[in-house]
Chain A
């Protein structure tokens, strides 16, 4: 500003104006500058309320499983851009789209109100993360590149639509979260044709799901700290079927479509941070409970002439009309899952992490019963005959109506437990760039075999006109190598 003013002062020196006049002129100029600066500051003030951040991940992966084609490729798992606007202290709006080449989707999209008095309470509403330690970690901060199987299964897509209330006192070592969600975000719920009928940005059912999480932080003197917590999920999903099965595929009860089927689980978590050898953390969680699958119903009608007869110039046609009603029952599966990380920092720029995890989606079935246990209630076939005449003077028609109820569900891949060992090395090139190499070793539960020596659960794939069979009676190769570069800003 002084540089801008100095030419004015020089000009003033070279004029014949009187001193008071020159003073007034400079003063006017200064007022003008002041107004312009105030205006610019007002504009700048608005801009300082906007915070931009984001990250892009690019990776190359190699898959051992011969059923995966192509077995190696480059991809962009995430390209997120987060916009946070804070018009006032304690009020913020967050929008975070994810731009991958195949689609643009919304991740975070919420409004947040913080109490401005004691900075302890906060209310969120919108598309927010479900309450779980690993789920709430940013996808850019995962030590082994992916979330564990149990967390991904329970909280697909990380986010759900709902409202969250938080108690997080700045001076006290605990954190409480309560949330009410639609409960079905990103779940794949299929109909008889296999299409996903779970709508986006809307609930699949009228039942809302309640979640809670409480974490307490203990200090371990000057050696580190340990956070321990519990979480719980109390929800329902709408049954899309008229039969509900127990986890072991036995009949539980009759339902009406639209009835609720419970989804309830609990988790205990622990994060231990030790200031040893440059920083070590051991992080674990155990989740168990009941998850539900809503089932589906389908029907088909086939009409075909079964007999044609000519009697006294009248043609009698008998049609067979078969109505098949397919009922795939809803099922409540008891599950359990756990993971434990060991993370070691090596200097300022390197980090090594190893995670062992286990996820059994159906604890009621032993390995030998997977692929065997099933529900089959092909109980009643009703046959009715109706004679319809007068369609045509020379034709008389009669229909035989046959109704088949096919009510079955068989255990399979969805019931197979997995262990997985993931190792990852992260090299932080700068505060913005990270290189990561990870190796995942998934180990499927071995199911029993049939008389022919084949697994009770197999899956066949066609890859380049060749048939690839994944036989779950043995541990087949599924390892994945991932090299990733992440740029964060």
Chain B
């Protein structure tokens, strides 16, 4: 009995030696990880915020919403940027690990944009046509009013929030196996710039050097591209919210930063980076 107690005390001492350093006061470093779609905006927010808050260092990395959520669940980031909502399964993991449901903070809006090569004569597509194209049921541009040429598909990897939003709300089935998975939105844009017959999807802010395809709900409805006006009037069919997630209600430096992001000053940067503000 005495021996067991002695062993228990030694064990406790060893554990405390490991644990106590983690109680040291944290440095004012905020880590932000997640959505590749939001990375331009997140970097802009960090830069502008740090100009006036010299005591805070904000480290922003992309890698996709899924990677960001995984990092949040495992305590590897303070803020997760996500272009999709957390799933029930992810919330369950957060409950298990941190006894928390997470805090969802809508921070900006985006319109998933269809990128076409500038030389492509196609101007608009319906949601049904997009589904057929990315599912591989339509494989030639002539079937949607373009030239007779094969359609080359470019998409995101499964760690991308945009991948899931586009799949769940537009494609509604598996992507065609011919769809090339690229590691980031910029890679998709570059691929479409180089490929006359290419088509890709991603955030509106990345659509430089490509044609933005107008999106129609169906054959009879007008086509729209994501603009401040169409987003505000809820006309653009592929609009979505962008989120920041924290494990618990934000406090301290993280709270101050998020409050600033949601302030008119922070939302001004949303417009500056060609995303869309919440209101």
Question: Which residues of A are in contact with B by a Cβ distance under 8 Å?
Answer: 41-42, 45, 48, 62, 64, 88-89, 116-117, 119, 137, 141, 168, 170, 175, 219, 222, 224-225, 271, 273-275, 278-281, 343-345, 347-350, 425, 427-429, 431, 435, 437, 439, 477, 479, 481, 483
Contacts and interface: CB of A to CB of B under 8 A. Distances in A.
A427 B15 contact: yes
Q: List the 8 closest pairs (A to B, CB-CB), nearest first.
A: A281-B99, A431-B74, A348-B75, A279-B99, A89-B174, A279-B100, A279-B98, A349-B22
B168 A119 contact: yes
Given A64-B1, A117-B172, A274 B99 contact: yes
Contacts of A168: 88
B174 A279 contact: no
A350 B11 contact: no
A275 B249 contact: yes
A481 B248 contact: no
B149 interface: no
Given A89-B173, A117-B172, A275 B248 contact: yes
Interface hub of B11, B22, B95, B103 (most chain A Cβ within 10 A): B95
19 contacts: A45-B177, A48-B158, A64-B1, A141-B96, A141-B97, A170-B87, A170-B88, A273-B100, A275-B249, A343-B99, A344-B99, A349-B19, A349-B75, A350-B19, A427-B22, A428-B74, A429-B18, A435-B15, A483-B11
Give the size range of B's interface with the partner: 35 or more
A273 B22 contact: no
B247 interface: yes
Contacts of B96: 137, 141
B50 interface: no
A48 to B, nearest CB: 8
Given A170-B88, A437-B12, A280 B249 contact: no
Given A347-B22, A481-B11, 13 more contacts: A62-B4, A64-B4, A137-B96, A141-B96, A141-B97, A175-B88, A219-B101, A222-B249, A279-B248, A345-B99, A348-B75, A428-B75, A481-B8
B95 A281 contact: yes
Contacts of A280: 99
Interface string B195-209: 000000000000000
B5 to A, nearest CB: 10
Nearest to B157: A48
Interface in B217-262: 247-249
Nearest to B102: A275
Contacts of A48: 158
A151 B183 CA distance: 44
Interface string B164-177: 00011000111001
A224 B88 contact: no
A435 B180 CA distance: 41
A21 B165 CA distance: 47
A429 B172 CA distance: 40
Interface string B95-113: 1111111010000000000
A45 to B, nearest CB: 6
Contact of B4 (A45, A343, A481): A481
B29 interface: no
Interface hub of B12, B100, B103, B249 (most chain A Cβ within 10 A): B100
B7 interface: yes
A5 to B, nearest CB: 14
A88 B174 contact: yes
Given A273-B100, A275-B100, A348-B75, A477 B1 contact: yes
Contacts of B19: 349-350, 425, 427
A377 to B, nearest CB: 45
A68 to B, nearest CB: 12
Contacts of B167: 89
A116 B22 contact: no
B76 A431 contact: yes
B75 to A, nearest CB: 4
Interface in B40-89: 74-76, 87-88
A281 B12 CA distance: 24
Contacts of A483: 11
Contacts of A175: 88
Nearest to A341: B99
A427 B23 CA distance: 12
Contacts of A89: 167, 173-174
A41 B1 contact: no
A439 to B, nearest CB: 7
B140 to A, nearest CB: 18
Nearest to B96: A141
Contacts of A170: 87-88
Nearest to B18: A427
Given A141-B96, A431-B76, A425 B15 contact: yes
A141 B158 CA distance: 25
Nearest to A62: B4
Given A64-B1, A431-B75, A345 B173 contact: no
A248 B103 CA distance: 52
A437 B11 CA distance: 8
A224 B88 CA distance: 15
A350 B75 CA distance: 11
Contacts of B97: 141
Nearest to B101: A225
Contact of B101 (A224, A343, A477): A224
B178 to A, nearest CB: 9
A316 B141 CA distance: 108
A345 B95 contact: no
Nearest to A481: B8
A350 B248 CA distance: 15
B98 to A, nearest CB: 5
B171 to A, nearest CB: 10
B269 to A, nearest CB: 25
A427 B19 CA distance: 7
B103 to A, nearest CB: 7
Contacts of A425: 15, 19
Contacts of B74: 428, 431
A229 B172 CA distance: 32
A423 B48 CA distance: 47
Interface in B14-52: 15, 18-19, 22-23
Nearest to B87: A170
Nearest to B23: A347
Contacts of A273: 95, 99-101
A350 B98 contact: no
